[in-house]
Amino acid sequence: MSGRQAKNNGTIKLVAGNSNRALAETIAAHLETPLTKATVRRFADMEIFVEIEENVRGQDVFVVQSTSFPTNDHLMELLILTDALRRSSARRITAVIPYFGYARQDRKPGPRTPISAKLVANLITHAGADRVMTVDLHAGQIQGFFDIPVDNLYASPVMVRDVKERYELGKVTVVSPDVGGVVRARGLAKRIDAPLAIIDKRRERPGESEVMNVIGDVEGRDCILIDDIVDSGGTLCNAAEALLKKGRD
Ligand code: R5P
């Protein structure tokens, strides 16, 4: 038994949903802790069925499951896995959700609309999670949607390393493709000591985006656009076009 295994002393259990099996396996290899045997399968009508095939009574269980595309299926898997673990008397259940779906619906954009991020937080909590671990939440305030602890980890150390390897830092400007992403872009800019630019994006209808203005100096610069969600891709494409146009003007 290696040092790390001895330290875990068999009390940490890792359970993987189907959203990103490769990531769960990498985490398991890194921790030298095998994935707990669990079956996640479907009935003919696509209802999800879960069976935890090992004893988890009294154990500290981490469920690795992003609520990425197909979001509803992966969310439901996470909820059912959590319920199964709770009913198996796990001591603590941490939902590890690297990509937190529904996060952009964190406020009412208009009358008679939902706050789906809050609903999802309620679902995860009521299913039985004791903690949530996620990466670069769309908005930090979503942590407050939970009454359980949320660890919001940052991917920036990995990105900074990559940017430093690929770019001449003196020429780089970090660009937020919309006003809502400024905190995220500023975080990266600060770490690599680069200037910041902002695209003033106006969205007329959901799923469509329209770029209005580039705020900041981008002429002759290597621009790094940073965003947390690519849905239609419109935001990033329009931002890139606006930057090229501004560079030519
Ligand atoms: C918006 O708040 C998000 O950060 C993304 O900019 C947005 O969800 C991207 O969507 P799309 O790819 O459809 O433009």
Q: Which amino acid is at 56?
A: V
Q: What pLDDT, on the 0 to 100 scale, is given for residue 11?
A: 79
Q: What pLDDT, on the 0 to 100 scale, is given for residue 212?
A: 73
Evaluate whether 40 touches 50 at the Cβ level (below 8 Å): yes
Q: Which amino acid is at 239?
A: A
Q: What pLDDT, on the 0 to 100 scale, is given for residue 85?
A: 98
Q: Which residue has the tokens 């890792």?
A: 14
Average of per-residue pLDDT across 55-84? 98
Helix ranges (H only) for the chain are 3-8, 21-31, 71-86, 116-127, 156-166, 182-192, 234-248
3-state class of 73 per DSSP? helix
pLDDT at 122 > cutoff 70: yes
Helix (H) or strand (E) holding 174: strand 172-176
With the most atoms of ligand 1 within 8 angstroms of its CB, the residue from 138, 227, 236, 241 to mutate is: 227
pLDDT at 2 > cutoff 60: no
Verify whether ligand 1 is closer than 6 Å to residue 209 (CB atom). yes
Mean pLDDT, the chain, rounded, equals 93
What gap in Å lies between CA 78 and CA 66, rounded to an integer? 8
Classify residue 145 as exposed, middle or buried by CB count within 10 Å of its CB (0-12, 13-18, 19+): buried
Atom of ligand 1 nearest to the CA of 234: 14
Q: What pLDDT, on the 0 to 100 scale, is given for residue 218?
A: 95
What gap in Å lies between CA 169 and CA 147, rounded to an integer? 41
Evaluate whether 211 touches 197 at the Cβ level (below 8 Å): no
pLDDT at 223 > cutoff 90: yes
Q: What pLDDT, on the 0 to 100 scale, is given for residue 211?
A: 58
Bridge partners (DSSP) of residue 136 are none
- For the chain, domains (ranges, CATH) are 3-153 (3.40.50.2020), 156-248 (3.40.50.2020)
Give the model confidence (pLDDT) of 167-192 as tens digits.
999 999 999 999 889 999 999 999 99
How far does the centroid of ligand 1 lie from the alpha carbon of residue 235, in Å?
6
Q: Which residue has the tokens 């921790």?
A: 31
Give the model confidence (pLDDT) of 188-222 as tens digits.
999 999 999 999 976 666 666 575 789 999 999 99
How far does the centroid of ligand 1 lie from the alpha carbon of residue 24, in Å?
26
Classify residue 180 as exposed, middle or buried by CB count within 10 Å of its CB (0-12, 13-18, 19+): middle
Q: What pLDDT, on the 0 to 100 scale, is given for residue 127?
A: 98
Give the model confidence (pLDDT) of 39-52 as tens digits.
999 999 999 999 99
Q: Which two tokens stand for residue 155?
A: 């991917």
